[in-house]
């Protein structure tokens, strides 16, 4: 989790990150709660890239040559992973241990290492065919973030935030990190083949996926006080939780919903959980509709299981905030890969219509759900006042948008945006890099050979 406005505040033992949603269980209505319906959902391969093997290249559609596109992607990767350490890079080597080299991705603004950034870095590495960087990141994660003590309340998960020297800043997990870890590990297993030990990618992915759903509730002490931690999903609603702590009123985060990934876990994950992930994919598609504003398409940072905003005393909880930037990208990639729910096209048109009305390159990072800006972003570069990570995810929404003329404007905005540097280069940089891969058709499903 990212904290542009600081590292967050502790509440009941949980750190509320990045400044601060889930449908009811009437699933038989859509043919999913009954076992045969779930099986049919998992066997329906849709009409997207999973079925066809074809990925849209929005930059090529906009007239750019493949050589230009490759050069832009490689330049961004080189700057963010191997650029100047003071102003450009977020990836840093950190020595070696018995398992090999170690590296981390740091949130430069908050001087820490987060499971969010490490898992994004691993996903970028597997998509870019950078096995050395992938392994070095995973080694750092397993060395410093993994909770291996069976009596620890977070056993089987990862500390969501550590200092760059590997010291934990909190010993509880953030499920968005676990989701990307699991998916990147499965892609690595399929693209490169699994090794041994921590580099048995497939076994590590399955272990994590099982923990996410089946980890028993554990209570106990951490370095930061008592914690009570359970599964990372809500079984009744088939939804990812914002935190797996046992809470009186649990809730979700719309930007954590990744139906494109869940469909793959319904095919490649542990066999006993495949029906659950097929159900979760359908639930998430409905949840995007329920959680977004019907006029603006904006989703809140936190939401209840019925899609209503989950209000807390922390800023952004019920607003479109930094976490929310990722939500349109999530539904649009799902459309690109699976093409199962046309409502995702409606959502992309809706949110692009809203941001176009704000003015290309002029929008704020935070809004009320009905579209009132909550403060202008600092001027990041001479080229744009808009947060570059949001420029990127709005461009990814073009994968699902039906208004092709307007969608092209968002693709052009991403193409013209500079690689993030300086203070904001962590979160903006990660979203920018992944958005380049999505928009170019280079963020792909790596299936079993």
- 21-88+251-443 and 90-249, same CATH topology: yes
pLDDT of residue 384 exceeding 70, the answer is no
Closest CA to 22 of 247, 229, 219, 282: 282
Q: Name the band, by pLDDT with cuts 50, 70 and 90, for residue 386.
A: confident
Phi first, then psi, for residue 418 (nearest 5°) are -75, 160
Q: Which residue has the higher pLDDT, 315 or 166?
A: 166
DSSP result, 60-112: HHTT--HHHHHHHHHHHHHHHHHS-TTTT--EEEEEEETTEEEEEEEETTTTE
Helix (H, G, I), strand (E, B) or coil at 332: helix
Domain at 21-88+251-443: CATH architecture: Alpha/alpha barrel (1.50)
pLDDT of residue 13 exceeding 50, the answer is no
Contact (Cβ atoms closer than 8 angstroms) between residue 280 and residue 355? no
Mean of pLDDT values over 403-431: 96
What is the distance between the alpha carbons of residues 43 and 263, in angstroms, rounded to a whole number? Answer: 10
Closest CA to 127 of 180, 165, 58, 48: 180
Say what the pLDDT of residue 315 is.
66
Nearby residues of 331 by Cβ (< 8 Å), 6 or more positions away: 259, 285, 288, 344, 347, 348, 400
Mean of pLDDT values over 413-420: 97
Over its C-alpha atoms, the chain yields an Rg (Å, rounded) of 20
Domain ranges of the chain: 21-88+251-443, 90-249
Give me the helices (H) in 314-362, please: 327-338, 343-358
Its pTM stands at 0.90
Catalytic amino acids? 116, 323
Phi first, then psi, for residue 188 (nearest 5°) are -65, -45
Q: Running DSSP on this structure, what letter comes out for residue 317?
A: T
What is the distance between the alpha carbons of residues 278 and 33, in angstroms, rounded to a whole number? Answer: 10
Mean of pLDDT values over 406-433: 96
pLDDT digits (tens, 9 = 90+) for 298-327: 999 999 999 999 987 766 789 999 999 999
What is the distance between the alpha carbons of residues 15 and 7, in angstroms, rounded to a whole number? Answer: 8
Contact (Cβ atoms closer than 8 angstroms) between residue 7 and residue 110? yes
Domain at 90-249: CATH architecture: Alpha/alpha barrel (1.50)
pLDDT digits (tens, 9 = 90+) for 204-221: 999 999 999 999 999 999
How far is residue 295 from each of residues 277, 329, 349, 363, 371, measured CA to CA in Å?
30, 18, 11, 17, 9
DSSP result, 142-204: HHHTB---TTSTTTTSB-SEE-TTS-EEE-S--HHHHHHHHHHHHHHHHHH---SGGG-HHHH
pLDDT digits (tens, 9 = 90+) for 30-78: 233 333 344 444 559 999 999 999 999 999 999 999 999 999 999 999 9
What is the distance between the alpha carbons of residues 424 and 388, in angstroms, rounded to a whole number? Answer: 9
């Amino acid at each position: 989790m990212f904290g542009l406005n600081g590292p967050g505040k502790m509440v009941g033992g949980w750190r509320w990150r990045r400044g601060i949603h889930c449908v009811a269980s009437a699933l038989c209505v859509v043919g999913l709660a009954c076992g045969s319906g779930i099986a049919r959902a998992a066997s329906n391969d849709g009409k997207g890239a999973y079925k066809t093997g074809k990925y849209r290249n929005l930059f090529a559609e906009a007239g750019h040559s493949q050589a230009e596109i490759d050069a832009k992607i490689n330049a961004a990767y080189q700057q963010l992973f191997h650029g100047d350490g003071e102003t450009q890079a977020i990836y840093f080597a950190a020595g070696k241990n018995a398992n090999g080299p170690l590296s981390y991705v740091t949130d430069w603004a908050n001087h820490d290492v987060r499971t969010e950034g490490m898992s994004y870095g691993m996903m970028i590495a597997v998509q870019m065919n950078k096995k050395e960087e992938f392994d070095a990141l995973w080694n750092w994660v397993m060395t410093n973030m993994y909770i291996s003590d069976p009596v620890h309340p977070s056993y089987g998960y990862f500390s969501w935030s550590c200092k760059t020297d590997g010291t934990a800043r909190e010993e509880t997990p953030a499920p968005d990190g676990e989701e990307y870890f699991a998916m990147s590990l499965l892609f690595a297993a399929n693209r490169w083949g699994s090794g041994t030990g921590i580099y048995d990618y497939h076994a590590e992915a399955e272990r994590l996926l099982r923990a996410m759903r089946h980890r028993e509730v554990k209570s106990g002490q951490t370095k930061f006080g008592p914690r009570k931690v359970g599964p990372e999903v809500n079984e009744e609603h088939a939804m990812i939780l914002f935190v797996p702590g046992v809470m009186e009123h649990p809730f979700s985060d719309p930007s954590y919903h990744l139906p494109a990934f869940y469909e793959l876990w319904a095919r490649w994950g542990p066999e006993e959980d495949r029906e659950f992930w097929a159900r979760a994919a359908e639930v998430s598609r409905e949840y995007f509709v329920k959680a977004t504003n019907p006029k603006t398409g904006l989703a809140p940072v936190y939401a209840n299981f019925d899609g209503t905003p989950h209000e807390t005393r922390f800023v952004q909880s019920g607003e479109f905030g930094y976490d929310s930037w990722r939500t349109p990208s999530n539904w649009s990639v799902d459309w690109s890969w699976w093409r199962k729910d046309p409502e995702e096209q409606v959502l992309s048109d809706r949110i692009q219509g809203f941001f176009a009305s704000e003015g290309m390159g002029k929008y704020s990072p935070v809004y009320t759900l009905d579209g009132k800006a909550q403060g202008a972003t600092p001027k990041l570069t001479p080229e744009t006042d808009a947060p570059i990570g949001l420029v990127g995810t709005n461009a990814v929404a073009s994968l699902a948008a039906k208004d092709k003329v307007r969608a092209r404007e968002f693709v052009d905005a991403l193409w013209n945006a500079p690689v993030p540097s300086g203070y904001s280069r962590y979160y903006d940089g990660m979203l920018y890099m992944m958005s380049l891969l999505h928009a170019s058709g280079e963020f792909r499903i790596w299936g079993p050979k």
